[in-house]
Amino acid sequence: MAGMGVGLVGTGYMGKCHALAWNSVASVFGDVERPRLVGLAEVDTDLARRKAAELGFATSTGNWRDLLDNPEIDVISVTTPNQFHADMAIAALEAGKHVWCEKPMATSLADAERMLAAQRASGKVAVMGYNYIQNPLVRHMADLIGEGAIGDITHVRVEMDEDYMADPAEPFYWKSEAQSGYGALDDFAVHPLSLLSVLVGLPVEVMTAMAKPYADRPARDGGRRAVENHDIANVLMTFEGGLSGVLMANRSAWGRKGRIFVQIYGSNGSILYDQERMNEFQLYDRSGNPANHGFRSVLTSGHHPIYGKFIPAPGHGLGFNDLKIVECRELLSAIAGRPAHVVDFEIGLKIERAVHAMARSHAERRWIQTI
């Protein structure tokens, strides 16, 4: 059987990341047919041609709709700017292609809802690019929680912090425009929410405070321009059954580069995880002699799911791009009708709903239900 025929729209950061995954997935896992990299679409035709050569695609086009018509293509990676996700994903599904779409789903809730509807109507597989959930350690943590290793969950905290907006001297650009989104909330919060979705579920009620560390920024044409959205978002959360949690996001946090710090407390132990050290997690287990109790730093190894497909030796470390290869594999499993560990459009929509509820809570200064 021939491997899946792949189309790719977009050749930025995530486009390259998808391409690397399509290139490597068969070699890493050894149990899927090698995908055929059929066609790449990029607005600029010359760039499209050059990128196709670099990334190993057989053909290129300046018009993404060409991919829809190509019968060789079974699945399309959508890695374009957020405002294009909805139209492209829906068109691909309607053309009978499976879809691998980068996050967030869309720039409006209505679009995200249309995307789920299109997926349902198509019967095709549609998977979101939330690759942090593919970390073998995150999967192991989810297994531990599922098995009750730390008992009933009693409290959850998630922080996501980076510093790319931390410099107040940085001129105003589109990221600070209201139309780009709420700010830290949609830029960041979707990632912690994807992790929560596999670890403890999504919140049912939220109370949000957003903040602007810098009221204005230098305008490119001189003078200053008011910042229109919020680099900081803090959310009190209640989950089903009354579980409490806090979600914090800050894209102006000097020193933080890719921090997603998760604290999960249970009646029998605790789990900590920091995305900046993605090859270790910490487990506190209250059994045994209390004189020896402490958080243990567990390094990824073949004892955790999937890691052994990359490296037989323990503790040698996966990278961010490797998680995308795992995601690609899960997508292929879903397409093959096997159980798959993915954020599909249904869960993806729930994440979007949670984000929009958070934003509304801030605006109305009150608790809002997410569902």
Judge residue 340's burial from the number of C-beta atoms within 10 Å of its C-beta, 0-12 exposed, 13-18 middle, 19 or more buried. middle
Cα–Cα distance, 322 to 137 (Å, whole number): 13
Cα–Cα distance, 122 to 97 (Å, whole number): 9
The 3 state secondary structure assigned to 304-346 is CCCHHHHCCCCCCCCCHHHHHHHHHHHHHHHHCCCCCCCCEHH
- 54 contributes a contact to its own copies by CB under 8 A: yes
Binding residues for its own copies, rule CB under 8 A, total 101
- Residue 104 preceded by cis peptide, ω within 30: yes
What DSSP assignment string belongs to 164-229?
TT--TTSPP-GGGSGGG-SBHHHHHTHHHHHHHHHHT---SEEEEEEE-S-SEEE-TTSSEEE--S
- 286 contributes a contact to its own copies by CB under 8 A: yes
Cα–Cα distance, 131 to 260 (Å, whole number): 13
Least Cα distance to 24 among 354, 351, 326, 251 occurs for 326
Residue closer to its own copies (CB basis): 109 or 211 = 211
With CB under 8 A as the contact rule, the residue among 69, 366, 369, 371 that binds its own copies is: 366
- 16 contributes a contact to its own copies by CB under 8 A: yes
The single-letter DSSP state of residue 4 is P
Q: Report whether 79 contacts 18 (CB < 8 A).
A: yes
Please list every residue from 26 through 45 that binds its own copies, using CB under 8 A: 26-28, 30, 34
The single-letter DSSP state of residue 276 is G
With CB under 8 A as the contact rule, the residue among 299, 344, 353, 360 that binds its own copies is: 299
Please list every residue from 79 through 118 that binds its own copies, using CB under 8 A: none
Least Cα distance to 345 among 139, 122, 101 occurs for 101
The nearest distance, CB 368 to its own copies, in angstroms, is: 12
- 49 contributes a contact to its own copies by CB under 8 A: no
The nearest distance, CB 85 to its own copies, in angstroms, is: 20
- 278 contributes a contact to its own copies by CB under 8 A: yes
Residue closer to its own copies (CB basis): 173 or 254 = 254
The nearest distance, CB 313 to its own copies, in angstroms, is: 6
Residue closer to its own copies (CB basis): 245 or 348 = 245
Residue closer to its own copies (CB basis): 96 or 294 = 294
With CB under 8 A as the contact rule, the residue among 108, 303, 346, 369 that binds its own copies is: 303
Residue closer to its own copies (CB basis): 102 or 111 = 102
The nearest distance, CB 302 to its own copies, in angstroms, is: 9
- 252 contributes a contact to its own copies by CB under 8 A: yes
Question: Judged by CB under 8 A, which stretch of 14-22, 68-76, 91-99, 186-194 contacts its own copies?
Answer: 14-22
Residue closer to its own copies (CB basis): 55 or 331 = 55
With CB under 8 A as the contact rule, the residue among 142, 283, 331, 357 that binds its own copies is: 283
- 238 contributes a contact to its own copies by CB under 8 A: yes
Using DSSP, state whether 348 is helix, strand or coil.
helix
